[in-house]
Chains A and B, each alone.
Chain A
Amino acid sequence: MFARIRSTWRAVTRRTAWEQDLEEELRTHVECRTEDLMRAGLSREEAERRARIELGAHETYKEQCREAQGLRWPDELQQDLSYGLRSFRRNPGFTAVSVLTLALGIGATTAIFTVVNAVLLRPLPYPHPEELVYVQEILEKFGATPFVDVNDFAAWRDQSRTLSPVAAYTDSWFNLTGGGDPERITAGLATSAFFSLLRVRPLTGRLFLPEEDRPGAPPVVILSEALWKRRYGGDPSVVGRGVTLDGKVYTVAGVLPHTFVIPAESKFDYALWVPLIANETGAGPMGVVRVIGRLKPGTSLETARSELNTILRSTRAGGPEGWVKGVALSTWQEQITANSRLSLLLFLGAVGFLLLIACVNVANLLLSRAATRQKEMAVRLTVGAGRTRIIRQLLTETTLLALLGAVLGLALARAGKDLLVAFISPNLPALEPIGLDYRVLGFCLALAVVTGLAFGLAPALQASRISLNEVLKEAGRSASEPRSSMFFRDLLLISETALAMMLLVGGGLLFRSFLRVRGIDLGFRSKNVLSMTVDLTPSEYATPKVQVAFFEQLMERIKGLEGVQAVAGSSCPPLGNRETTVTGGLKVEGQGVAMPDARTTAVSPDYFRALGIPLTQGRYFTDADRETSSSVAIVDESFARRYCPGAKCLGGRIKSWVRRKDWLTIVGVVANARDSAEAEPHPKIYLPFSQASEPYMTVLVRTAGNPKLWASAVRSQVASVDRNQPPHDLMTLEDLRTESLTPRRVNTLLVGAFAALGLILASVGIYGVVSYYASQRTHEIGVRMALGAERGDVLIVVVWQGLRSVLIGAGIGVAASIGLTRFLQTMLFGVKPTDLVTFVAVALVLLVVAWLACYIPARRASRVHPMVALRYE
């Protein structure tokens, strides 16, 4: 077998040498024969002549010999390719349109696939990533949650035999001071097994030692390469020195390379890592951590899951049952990509439709071209080409076309993916730079071959199935198309209209959802408000008194700035993610509501006025509500509606976890202010910050103009109060609001763009087909008009021929959309998957565009002078 391939290969790659060998062999033959014949008494000339005649036509042998060596196929391929290229050169218009259409389809699909590949398919950048698992706990009320109780983690760490090791990590923030401006930095807390589990090596120094995550161990820190370079100039001697975090000195143990990235659902740059002490005090305020593990080789997920479950049950036995129902185990990759999977698959689906439309268009072009090439085919059939040979030649041509499209598409994808990445990456858990790897190239190539065959097969079959007699008989006349071909063309028109319709419906539904979300009144005025957060170093601001004093002083100074209209503070910024939801611990006097829950926010007296949140009953907080005065609260309307009898809250009393011992008297009710456009307003309790102070606060500054102009002045006020407290997250509320809509905007814009492209491609396709119809019927039109038909009648006939298929296609598209849009359900907001308005609007757009695409060529056809039309051949 191998020898055969080698001999074929040699004959293909060194064709001239092969031919020379054969020539020489045959020459030797002739010479030998000549000599024998001369010996028999013939003259030299006569002998040579006889020898040649006996051997026969040796060009034929050459062919046969090549065939004998299995060369027929590669030889014919070579012929087909050069023939194809020649025919492309002869039809530059056709070639350009087809290649461009395909490039668009293949390019867009490849660009999306590049992202899908980077996010969903490429393994995590650690050794043996398939062994890495993520542990979730299933809660009774909320289902699987990515954060688990730190005590459960400790039990798994100590007892699990299937996962080795088990490690925990979580996110945190610190004030980094000393040696430069204070900085608020993002940090990771990790148990010491974390890095060995991931098998990372430090850039310099070392990683955590096993004893360093025990209570009482001397504090150490590992810097990220980025922070090390930025703040310490990449100085290796920083290892062993001290770094001050939240007022506590940590010794630098080592530096992590920049290639070390922790995958997450959203971007989180860990500037440094400190050990996570696995007890309630070490795991941060919530006492929950993220848990990962490495499966022992040969262990299944299911085995590990049941073991963790058993351990969970035995540690929780005796204690309160709690709401933890069990363990959910998935590979880490799956867990990370769970959120983006749906969006990405949506994009892939949408772009797949686009590609199909592109293919249908090119198939259409090929059909028209096949009609004009009928004579060529007939001639080739007559001189002895087999039908399969012709089909193969046509398929070679279309595959070549698709490959050209793919090359151009790849260039498009290369350019497009950067745009795409910039556009969607904030919402993507991609770990490495998203790039074109072998998988993407393979995908693109496969796409080209499959599309080439898919859109080429039908036209090729059509083209080869011609009746020789008919075509050749019709000597000069342009051959009329067979019925089946017309039917096929209609089918293409129908399918591309249906596809475009589905894309438009999807895009339309997402667009309407986006408008709905954007149009929602958040309940506060976000225009011209600057937001800045300060987290005080807890050790330096330990008591409520100093915390309140700091923020009052800060707000006073900012108020003094030129152009500042109002200043307010809040423990949870609007649209912010500082979770203060409290379930339980809340009591409403005289109410038997089981487990009432509400979000609690500490605010300064001016908060409602500064944000324009209207008061509906009672009063706002004032400066008179102090630490020492009686405890008060303001609730919002959704709280009042849910928990107060007859929505009358004033004077009612509640108990909150913030001031456990006191009953809080409700002194006011305000309108709802939403935390997010998409979620329903959550019941809220506001407390005066002087009575419920936290060591952090977001300061909101209403300015006379563009708030960004005040940013540096506001920032410097923090330093003027205490230069060791770093302000962070300086941004305008408008930006915050825009940002919160980003994922939805990205989905909408991408699918919308695909839908628009689909519509354009489909209308080009419709235009092409109707033009073709019209040109085929020029003669008929001439006859009709000569017999007295009105121009309008002709117009209607031609338009109707195209529009009929469009209507059928649109109908099918609508039906298919009704079936498919429920997969979009989770991405829609305030719009049903079968929203009538969207369907009608989209159908109208499609029909108007399609009508134009039919009308323009039809009009041109009807303008033809009857005499010209009759002579038209």
Chain B
Amino acid sequence: MDHLTDLLPGTLDLLILKAVSLGPQHGYGVLLRIEQVSGGRLQIEQGALYPALYRLEHQGMLRSEWGTSENNRRAKYYRLTAAGRRRLRDEAEGWQKVVAAMASVLSARPEEV
């Protein structure tokens, strides 16, 4: 399975927060970074990105400001706020727990039960 196109609900926000936590990014950059870090396995539907960014900004997780992109374009850069950082940590922890739990369930053998 190369592409995980159908993301679990709530994971988009987590991915965006993580991507932005690595350094301020504009919208397209966030997209690229997620693809890049996931080795191309996670592709975000481009249309879903902007509403999610606006929602996170409205919730105070992100802050935005206009800057210049690497190819000299005016672009809106998003950076993580303190609240965003907290949220990222909490959600990442939660996610790890779910993954661990799922893994242990899925790796269960008949003799362990």
Contacts and interface: CB of A to CB of B under 8 A. Distances in A.
Interface of A: 3-4, 7-8, 21-22, 24-26, 28-29, 31-33, 35-36, 54-58, 60-61, 64-65, 67-70
B79 interface: no
A55 B47 contact: yes
Contacts of A64: 50-51, 54
Contacts of B5: none
A565 to B, nearest CB: 92
Nearest to B81: A3
B50 to A, nearest CB: 5
B75 interface: yes
Contacts of A57: 47
Interface in B17-40: 26-29, 32
16 contacts: A4-B58, A4-B60, A7-B57, A8-B58, A21-B76, A28-B73, A32-B73, A55-B46, A61-B50, A61-B51, A65-B51, A67-B51, A68-B51, A68-B52, A68-B55, A69-B57
A31 B74 CA distance: 11
Main secondary structure of the interface of B (DSSP, over half): helix
A26 B46 CA distance: 10
Given A33-B28, A55-B46, A69 B55 contact: yes
B69 interface: yes
Given A61-B47, A65-B50, A65-B54, 11 more contacts: A3-B60, A25-B50, A25-B76, A28-B28, A28-B76, A32-B26, A55-B47, A64-B54, A65-B51, A67-B51, A69-B58
Q: Which of A3, A25, A56, A58 has the most CB of B within 10 A?
A: A25
B80 to A, nearest CB: 15
A21 B74 CA distance: 11
Interface in B48-98: 50-52, 54-55, 57-60, 69, 71, 73-76
Nearest to A67: B51
A172 B58 CA distance: 71
A35 B71 contact: yes
A57 B50 CA distance: 12
Q: Which of B54, B59, B74 has the most CB of A within 10 A?
A: B54
A35 B72 CA distance: 13
Main secondary structure of the interface of A (DSSP, over half): helix
B47 A68 contact: no
Given A31-B73, A32-B28, A68 B54 contact: yes
A61 B51 CA distance: 6
Given A4-B58, A4-B60, A25 B51 contact: no
Q: Which of A21, A33, A64 has the most CB of B within 10 A?
A: A64
B58 A68 contact: yes
Q: Chain B interface: which size bin? A: 20 to 34
A596 to B, nearest CB: 87
A563 to B, nearest CB: 90
A67 B29 CA distance: 23
A58 B69 CA distance: 22
Nearest to B47: A56
A24 B74 contact: yes
Contacts of A24: 74, 76
Nearest to B75: A28
A25 B31 CA distance: 14
Contacts of A25: 26-27, 50, 75-76
Contacts of B71: 32, 35
B69 A32 contact: yes
A32 B29 CA distance: 9
A29 B58 contact: no
Nearest to A4: B58
Contacts of A65: 50-51, 54
Contacts of A70: 58
A29 B28 contact: yes
Given A7-B58, A69-B58, A26 B50 contact: yes
Nearest to A62: B50
Contacts of A8: 58
B11 to A, nearest CB: 17
Nearest to B26: A28
B46 A56 contact: yes
A33 B46 CA distance: 11
Nearest to A56: B47
Contacts of A35: 71
B76 to A, nearest CB: 5
A29 B27 contact: yes
Contacts of B55: 68-69
Contacts of A58: 47
A56 B44 CA distance: 13
A65 B52 CA distance: 8
A25 B51 CA distance: 12
A65 B53 CA distance: 8
Contacts of B32: 36
A4 B59 contact: yes
Nearest to B45: A56
B44 to A, nearest CB: 11
B53 to A, nearest CB: 8
Nearest to B76: A25
A28 B72 CA distance: 10
Contacts of B28: 28-29, 32-33
A54 B46 contact: yes
Contacts of B26: 25, 28-29, 32
Contacts of A22: 50
Contacts of B52: 68
Contacts of A32: 26, 28-29, 69, 71, 73
Contacts of B75: 25, 28
A28 B69 contact: yes
Q: Which of B46, B74, B75 has the most CB of A within 10 A?
A: B46
A28 B27 CA distance: 9
A67 B52 CA distance: 11
A36 B59 CA distance: 32
B7 to A, nearest CB: 17
A319 to B, nearest CB: 78
